[in-house]
Homo-oligomer: A and B are copies of this chain.
Amino acid sequence: MQRTSFRDVNCSIAQCLEVIGDWWTMLIVRDALFGVSRFDDFQARLGISRSVLNQRLNHLVRHGVLERVPYQEHPPRYDYRLTPKGRDLWTVATAMRQWGDRWAAPAGPPVETVHRTCGHRAEIVPTCSACGEPVAPQDLEPVLGPGATDPDLVPPRRADPVEAPET
C-alpha cells in the first residue's frame, strides 16, 4: 500500500518529500550545504555503502538538486555541486536543524550559524513577507492557491461550521 512516488500529488510538501523524503538524501543535502562535494567525503561522513550513496546521489542529480562537475579526466571523477534548486533547500535544512535544537538537543545545538553580514551567532526567525513581523503559526490561515486542483486539500477548520445552519 506504500506509494512509491508522490510526483502526481498536488501538494508542495509532497513534491519536496518526493525529492528529499528519505533519511540519507537529506543528510547528503546537509553535507552538500556544508560544502562537501566528493563521493569519498560523503561516504566517510555518512558511513553508508557506496551503492546506497551512489543511488541517492543519482536521485539528487536526476531531480536537479545536485550536478556533476568533472574535476579529473583520467579516470573520470566528479564533484557533486548543489544547483540553485538544491541550495534553496537551506531553508528546509535550517528549519529541521532549529527544530532538532529546540526539541532533541539537551546538551545544546551541535551546530550554530554566524550571520556574516552582522557578525553574530543567530537563528533564523520566520517573518511575514507582507508586514515584516515575526510570524506565529496560529496567525497563519491556509487558503487554496492558484495551483490547487483539489479543493479538499485545505480542510474546513474544526471550529467553522461546515454547512451553515438553516435559521
How far is B16's CA from A34's CA once the two chains are assembled, in angstroms?
18
Copy number of this protein in the oligomer?
Answer: 2
The reply on A131 being an interface residue by CB < 8 A is yes
Closest Cβ of chain B to A24, distance in Å, is: 8
Chain A residues numbered 100-144 whose CB sits less than 8 Å from any CB in chain B? 100-118, 120-133, 135, 137, 139-144
Q: Are B110 and A1 in contact (CB under 8 A)?
A: no
CB distance from A146 to the nearest CB of B (A): 3
Structural contact, A96 and B135, CB atoms closer than 8 A: no
Complex-state Cα separation, A31 to B97, whole angstroms? 22
Which of under 10, 10 to 19, 20 to 34, or 35 or more describes the interface residues of A? 35 or more
Q: In the complex where A118-B128, A126-B94, A154-B111 touch, is A17 in contact with B27 (Cβ < 8 A)?
A: yes
Contact among B22, B110, B146, B157 for A145, CB-based, below 8 A: B110
Cα(A13)–Cα(B104), bound, Å: 10
CB–CB A13/B35 < 8 A: no
Q: Which residue of B lies closest to A124 (CB)?
A: B126
Interface pair A91/B85, CB less than 8 Å apart: no
**Besides the known contacts A94-B126, A117-B133, A124-B135, 15 further A-B residue pairs in the complex with CB atoms under 8 A apart:** A6-B23, A10-B110, A12-B105, A13-B96, A16-B97, A21-B22, A88-B99, A92-B99, A105-B147, A111-B145, A111-B153, A118-B130, A122-B128, A122-B130, A125-B127
